[in-house]
Amino acid sequence: MLLSDDAFDQLFQNFHSSAFKMETKDRYDVEDERKELKGFLAGAKMPDAWADSPWVRSMTGTGKVLQRVHILRSPLTDYLRFELGWGYVGNVRAGEDIRILDLADKQIDGLPDHDFWLFDDSRVYRMHYSSDDEFLGAELLGPESLPRYRAYRDLSWRHAAPYTEYWQHRT
């Protein structure tokens, strides 16, 4: 069974200390971002509201740790340029630790080809998307999956560059 919408959002209210996301896609179709993506592609200035993320701050402001590794391959798609150029700016300012692993720069074997969230090092949810890159829901994986997903996190984190360092060298 896939968790979506409100049930999925509750995961971010209920975790205790840490949440880690691995992203592997080069495009996400997020309804709330469509207008901004068009603006970005047209050369608009980043909206002031994107300079800080209240959603991230609602977690990091209470002492929770929020981390992410985005595994990608240069050259960047339009969506990735948007995500790195606008989307991550406010998240980092609000306290999320984001890292980038560009497989065009180094090849790392043993990483998954799908997104997941790991909460409190004790629950892992595999993310599912439509063929049009829309979020369908999150699947809770069994406890037997935890060692493998912790290893994915640790391997990617070890080889990824901090977001600001990566982005400064790309722009």
At 67 the pLDDT is 98
153-163 average pLDDT score:
98
Retrieve residue 66's tokens: 């929020």
Q: What is the pTM of this model?
A: 0.96
Residue 128 lies in domain: 2-170
Burial class of residue 16 in the structure, from the number of CB atoms within 10 Å of its CB (0-12 exposed, 13-18 middle, 19+ buried): exposed
Q: 96-124: per-residue pLDDT in tens?
A: 999 999 999 999 999 999 999 999 999 99
> Domain of 91: which CATH number?
3.30.870.10
Q: How many angstroms separate the first and last alpha carbons of the chain?
A: 41
Which amino acid is located at 2 in the chain? Answer: L
The residue ranking higher by pLDDT, 159 or 4, is 159
DSSP letter (8 states) at residue 130: -
Per-residue confidence at 4, pLDDT binned at 50, 70, 90? confident
At 79 the pLDDT is 97
Q: Domain tally for the chain?
A: 1
The 135-140 sheet, strands edge to edge: 2-3, 135-140, 123-129, 116-119, 18-23, 65-72, 97-102, 161-162
Q: How far is CA 105 from CA 56, 71, 98, 165, in A?
A: 29, 11, 18, 14
